[in-house]
């Protein structure tokens, strides 16, 4: 069994600055930086952004601002919603996709030089990179603009967790004393890593982790979460899912983190949500979430169920949360 890449979560990176009173000019690298109060503030502004988005209200909150979206890995929703968020608020974007092929990176330019170049043009860099810890590295290099982590390898995906937390709060009315089921690639899935960090900020949360043995969270990570007060139970069968869960958070097996494709084929889609098992194992109020893309782990027959939020509020909230975050980080809203 060889899954060399993606085995380790980063342990040797510096700790990002916590967000207490102000978001202005802060790098957004990890859910570790947030407190319940800073999340509450962000979500208040997210409701305001939702009104702008839903009612097509013209806004110039980010007028004059320029954001570089620097994406070393493929993306649909994260890149699209950051781009839309900036434009909804009257700002502009420089989009650099696949710089390994289409920028001076292909000529051998260093990561540091690329970051320093784009920080000369814009007010923030939104970075996605296949290596864990790279967003922190960019933040160490950039002297003048905040870095927003849009996913760093198997590390974290903080803005996805922010939209997930907002969605959970919107549907359940709270962020504490919740029972959640996480399924799929717990080891390599950065959205789960960030969301568990977010949930551990609130008391009484329980997480059931459902995955094949090889895709479990490393033991030391589980201990860290438990020490923060998050209750974690590892399960290996769908029948072990508690009936009263508030949400199910399904994820795909992260194919790009595998070196051996036979391992991927063997571990992929061990747990598929069907109408039959969702009706049998979930509650009437349980919401079904997925960061997307899904590649077969949720059957399309469930999409019309009102409990399935992944292609509805969850995805839309991504733009609203990013509108709020950008306005705060760029100091346009305090």
Catalytic machinery residues: 77-78, 107, 128, 157
Residue 329 belongs to what H/E stretch? helix 313-329
Is the Cβ of residue 171 or residue 190 nearer to ligand NCD in the bound state?
Answer: 190
Please report whether residue 88 would count as binding ligand NCD according to CB under 6 A: no
Position 157 contacts ligand NCD (CB under 6 A): yes
- Binding of ligand NCD by 194 (CB under 6 A): no
Q: Which of 10, 24, 32, 77 binds ligand NCD (CB under 6 A)?
A: 77
Quick check: 316 binds ligand NCD (CB under 6 A)? no
In the bound state with ligand NCD, the residue whose beta carbon lies nearer, of 199 and 333, is 199
Instruction: Judge contact between 5 and 171, C-beta under 8 A.
Output: no
Nearer to ligand NCD, 122 or 161 (CB): 161
- Taking the chain, what is the end-to-end CA distance rounded to the nearest angstrom? 50
Report, in Å, the least distance between residue 269 CB and ligand NCD: 13
Residues 6 or more apart from 24 whose CB is under 8 A from it? Answer: 328, 329, 330, 331, 334
| Interacting residues with ligand NCD between 288 and 307 (CB under 6 A) | 291-292
**Interatomic CA distance for residues 49 and 56, integer angstroms:** 10
Position 246 contacts ligand NCD (CB under 6 A): no
Strand order across the beta sheet in which 206-210 lies = 231-235, 206-210, 179-183, 247-250, 287-289
- Cα distance between residue 102 and residue 109, in whole Å: 12
**With binding defined as CB under 6 A, does residue 30 bind ligand NCD?**
no
- Distance of closest approach, residue 77 Cβ to ligand NCD, in angstroms: 5
DSSP summary character for residue 184: S
Asked whether position 41 contacts ligand NCD by CB under 6 A, the answer is no
Identity of the residue, 129 or 157, whose beta carbon is nearer to ligand NCD in the bound complex: 157
Answer for the pair 82, 67: CB distance below 8 angstroms, yes or no. Answer: yes
Among 143, 135, 187, 145, which Cα is nearest to 15's?
A: 135
Among positions 6, 53, 133, 151, the unique one binding ligand NCD when judged by CB under 6 A:
151
Which residues are at the interface with ligand NCD (CB under 6 A)? 77-78, 151, 157, 160, 190-191, 251-252, 291-292
């Amino acid at each position: 069994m060889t899954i060399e890449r993606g085995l380790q979560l980063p342990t040797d990176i510096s700790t990002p600055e916590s967000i207490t009173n102000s978001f202005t000019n802060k790098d957004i690298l990890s859910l570790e930086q947030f407190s319940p109060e800073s999340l509450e503030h962000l979500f208040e502004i997210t409701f305001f952004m939702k009104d702008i988005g839903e009612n097509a209200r013209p806004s110039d909150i980010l007028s004059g601002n320029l954001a570089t979206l620097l994406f070393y890995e493929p993306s649909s929703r994260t890149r699209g919603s950051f781009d839309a968020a900036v434009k909804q608020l009257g700002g502009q974007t420089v989009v650099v996709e696949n710089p390994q092929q289409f920028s001076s990176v292909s000529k051998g330019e260093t990561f540091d030089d690329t970051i320093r170049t784009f920080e000369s043009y814009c007010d923030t860099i939104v970075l996605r990179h296949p290596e864990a810890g790279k967003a922190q590295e960019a933040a160490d290099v950039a002297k003048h603009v905040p870095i927003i982590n849009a996913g760093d390898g198997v590390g974290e995906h903080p803005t996805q967790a922010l939209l997930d937390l907002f969605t959970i709060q919107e549907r359940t009315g709270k962020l504490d004393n919740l029972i959640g089921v996480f399924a799929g690639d717990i080891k390599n899935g950065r959205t789960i890593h960030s969301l568990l960090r977010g949930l551990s900020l609130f008391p009484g949360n329980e997480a059931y982790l459902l995955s094949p043995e090889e895709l479990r969270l490393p033991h030391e990570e589980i201990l860290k979460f438990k020490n923060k007060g998050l209750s974690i139970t590892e399960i290996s069968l769908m029948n072990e899912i508690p009936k009263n869960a508030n949400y199910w958070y399904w994820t795909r097996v992260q194919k790009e983190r595998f070196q051996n494709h036979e391992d991927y084929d063997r571990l992929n889609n061990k747990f598929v949500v069907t109408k039959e098992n969702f009706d049998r194992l979930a509650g009437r109020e349980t919401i079904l979430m997925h960061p997307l893309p899904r590649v077969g782990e949720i059957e399309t027959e469930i999409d019309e169920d009102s409990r399935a939020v992944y292609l509805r509020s969850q995805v839309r909230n991504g733009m609203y949360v990013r509108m709020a975050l950008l306005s705060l980080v760029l100091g346009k809203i305090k």
